[in-house]
Amino acid sequence: MKIGPYQLDNPLILAPMAGVTDSPFRTLCRKLGAALAVSEMVTSNMQLLKSRKTQLRLDHTGENTPRCIQIVGADPEEMATAAQYNVDNGAEIIDINMGCPKKKVCRVMAGSSLLKNETLVANILHKVVNAVDVPVTLKIRTGWDTDNRNAVNIAKIAESEGIQALAIHGRTRACAFNGEAEYETITAVKSMVNIPVIANGDINSAEKAADVLAQTGADAIMIGRAAQGRPWIFREIIHFLKYGEHLPEPDTKEINNILINHLKNLYDFYGETMGVRIARKHIGWYCKNTSHLPLTHMRLDSGTLHYETMAIVDSFWHRINKVESANRQLEQVTEFFTLKGRLLAA
């Protein structure tokens, strides 16, 4: 799939997720197979762009090309200015958020609430596309509720205004993240436009990825929550699409190595205090995604493994959330996965 001049290596894209897809996570997912990784959404309000939080969201130093920054807002002129600002600071693709269902975003008529106003959608897209000389993409939902699925109309508007790729989450704004994603609307959109279409929503396995690509005819798929604590999902999907077989699950040693490097990059990016705190949610996701391993708590006593009734993940999670230093956090993570590995070998 191509987005403007950029030929993607494969049809897998990391979805933008607020508080998750920062530079360390984007870099990791690209390393493990994602062809493109979209930033956390960035406000179009220029008065807020200088805040440390926003500046960190805009930081894509050292990341592979193409660098894609997602912007959110409801004012066409403001969105155009924000797009140009980001291009001036290294963005190579601008993605427009019209899919976020969060109340604080929709309350200011941004995100997925924009789907109610097709005229405003057209105006925003027109202004942004004409403000920059890089590709502009769009992320939407199927509509604002199940009685008002207007993704096909929005897709036609997007194509006519020069949008170069369209990502669709298979839920409405009203659905938020509840229920199951539907792909019929994505299939309908794909049949009505000539720009690349990217399917998103509930794609959490290699089989599901292959099924959604086949069902919708989409040019690519976008992985969001399924990559949290499981960034190797991209290489698993690539292998399955290419060979029709599964890669073995990463063992505890490899998971530990991936997580340790991820944590170190978080400390470097945010500083120790903030990095340790942000790391906690990632550690929790990694541990959750080792649920296929035995969940028996154990302790070492004179070199002998003793099994206790408390689940090892719960015990570890209780302890790791109290840690404030990077070194201690790294030590406890390594201890956790070392014990996991010994239990499996026992």
Which is higher by pLDDT, 287 or 196? 196
pLDDT tens digits, 105-130: 655 556 788 999 999 999 999 999 99
Which is higher by pLDDT, 302 or 251? 251
Catalytic residues: 100
Residue pair 166/115 in contact (Cβ under 8 Å)? The answer is no
pLDDT tens digits, 273-310: 999 999 999 998 998 766 544 444 445 444 444 444 34
> Residue 56 pLDDT more than 70?
yes
Q: Return d(Cα 97, Cα 90) in angstroms, integer.
A: 19
Per-residue pLDDT at 320: 87
Residue pair 186/168 in contact (Cβ under 8 Å)? The answer is yes
DSSP string of 36-50, one letter each residue = EEEEEEEE--GGGTT
Q: Tokens 């984007």 — which residue?
A: 26
- Mean pLDDT value across residues 217-230: 97
CATH class held by domain 2-243 = alpha beta
Per-residue pLDDT at 108: 56
Q: Return d(Cα 18, Cα 157) in angstroms, integer.
A: 26
High-pLDDT (> 70) share of the chain, %: 88
The identity of residue 116, as a single letter, is: K
> Residue 180 pLDDT more than 60?
yes
Per-residue pLDDT at 309: 32
Per-residue pLDDT at 50: 74
Per-residue pLDDT at 337: 83
Which is higher by pLDDT, 80 or 59? 80
Query: In the beta sheet, which residues pair with residue 98?
Result: 140
| pTM for the whole structure | 0.90
Per-residue pLDDT at 285: 92
- Mean pLDDT value across residues 77-95: 96
Give phi and psi for 97, each to the nearest 5. Answer: -90, 110
Comparing 27-36, 139-148, 263-272, 288-297, which segment has the lowest mean pLDDT?
288-297
In this structure, the strands spanning 12-14 and 220-223 are parallel
Domain ranges for the chain: 2-243, 252-345
| Cβ neighbours for 214, distance < 8 A, ≥ 6 positions apart | none
